[in-house]
Structure formats: C-alpha cells, structure tokens
C-alpha cells in the first residue's frame, strides 16, 4: 500500500481511487508529555491508545450513520488498528471545527474576562485553521468566505452538522454518566459525490470528557464508555 500522508496520530494509505486506509498510531497530541486535545504537537505515546481511539471512532461513526449523518466511514479492522474510509477533499489546508458545552481549554484562555472556568456554553461552534506554524488560529465565517476557504452556505451546513453530531456524542456519553465539555471535528468533501462529510475520528483524543467533575483521559474514557 502506498503511504500518502503521515499524520500526528494516524497514517494514511491509498486503497483505490476513492478510498483510503487510516492506520491509528499510539501517539496523542499534547505538550511536554501531557495530553491536550487542542494541541498541535505529539505530546506522548501511550500503548494501545490507537486501538482505543479506533474502537470509539467505529462506535460513533456507526451510530452517526444510523441517524443519517454523512461520514467518511466504511469499515474498521480493530486487530489491524485500521479504518477504511471514503477519500475526502479538505477545505483549504484543513479546518478544525470545535463545539463547546463548557468553557475550558483555549476558550477560557481567550475569553476568561467574560466567563468562569467550566461555565456552561450554549453548544458554541468555532473554527480554527490547521496551521502548526501559526498555532492553529481561530477564523470567522467572514474570513473563511473572503479567503475562499469555504462558501457561506458550506459554513452554515458544517455548523448545523456539528451541532447535530455533537448532540449525538454528548447524549451517548451521558448514558454512562460521562459529560462532554468540548470536542473537535473535521469535515471534508466526498471525493466522489462532493457531499460534505464528517472525516477523521471521534475518540478521547479529540474531546474533553468529565465524570463527576473530574477529567477522564482518552484511555479511561474508552474503558468507561465501551468496556
């Protein structure tokens, strides 16, 4: 198989014209050995975190497909720690869409003058551009449209999809007394149909989840949720 992209937490191999294989790695984002779903560097390596992330991702993508949300998911192979997905075109050089239910992480670092840590937020959606060099800056709809990264219509579609997806994830977690504080999604356009679809993964690696006010690490989350 031809390796077409080496990511921080996943490698991407070409399968056919419109399909790729994602190989989940045991690396997670963070800084100085501390996990941070908002970081853009690999902070640490944890044995089994790739498989754990794949199990969570498969669970959520299958659940989302059933509710009619379009995703890139085709199938997964837990033993091989890999997932077969539809190939997607990125928006610009890649966007991350964050949905926040409580004020933590970079939100409180930016807007701490107007909120307390942990304050409930009304399903707040914001977009950042993937740009390691410039620290993944936030970007407004107006700027995305002006710089021709996204159309106004696509922005609104992504915002609506994000709220629908995150509400599904939040409700699923709540069934195990787990509370979703924030989560980061990625979208692309299906290479074949041009439809906007959810891509990447949904796992402990891209969300902050708490239980009874205590933060749960990605590995603990998978055990508490699936195990």
Chain residues binding a second copy by CB under 8 A are: 92-93, 109-115, 121-122, 124-126, 129, 131, 133-134, 137-143, 146-147, 149
Report in angstroms how near the CB of residue 190 gets to a second copy at its nearest. Answer: 23
DSSP, collapsed to helix, strand or coil, labels residue 201 as: coil
Nearer to a second copy, 85 or 129 (CB): 129
Query: Nearest approach, Cβ of 210 to a second copy (angstroms)?
Result: 20
**Minimal distance in Å, beta carbon 147 to a second copy?**
4
- For the record, the structure tokens of 87 come out as 């190939």
Nearest to 177 by CA among 210, 208, 215: 210
Length of the chain: 227
Contacts of 19 (CB under 8 A, 6+ apart): 74, 84, 85, 86, 87
Q: Which is nearer to a second copy, 81 or 129 (CB)?
A: 129
Considering only CA atoms, which of 24, 75, 72, 76 is closest in space to residue 51?
24
Residue pair 22/4 in contact by the 8 Å Cβ criterion: no
121 or 202: CB nearest a second copy:
121
What's the min distance (Å) between Cβ of 55 and a second copy?
33
CB-nearer residue toward a second copy: 16 or 148: 148
């Amino acid at each position: 198989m031809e390796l077409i992209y080496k990511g921080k937490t996943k490698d991407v191999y070409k399968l056919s014209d419109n399909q790729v294989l994602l190989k989940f790695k045991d690396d997670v984002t963070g800084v100085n050995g501390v996990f941070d779903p908002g970081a853009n560097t690999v902070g640490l390596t944890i044995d089994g975190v790739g498989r754990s992330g794949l199990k969570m991702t498969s669970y959520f993508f299958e659940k989302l497909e059933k509710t009619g949300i379009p995703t890139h998911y085709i199938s997964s192979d837990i033993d091989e720690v890999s997932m077969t997905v539809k190939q997607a075109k990125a928006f610009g050089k890649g966007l991350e869409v964050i949905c926040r239910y409580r004020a933590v992480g970079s939100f409180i670092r930016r807007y701490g003058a107007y909120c307390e840590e942990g304050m409930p937020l009304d399903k707040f959606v914001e977009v950042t551009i993937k740009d390691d060099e410039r620290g993944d800056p936030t970007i407004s709809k107006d700027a995305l449209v002006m710089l021709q990264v996204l159309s106004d219509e696509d922005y609104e579609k992504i915002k609506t999809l994000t709220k629908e997806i995150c509400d599904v994830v939040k409700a699923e977690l709540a069934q195990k007394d787990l509370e979703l504080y924030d989560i980061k999604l990625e979208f692309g356009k299906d290479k074949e149909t041009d439809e906007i679809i959810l891509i990447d993964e949904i796992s402990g690696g891209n969300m902050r989840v708490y239980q009874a006010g205590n933060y749960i690490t990605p590995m603990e989350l998978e055990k508490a949720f699936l195990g």
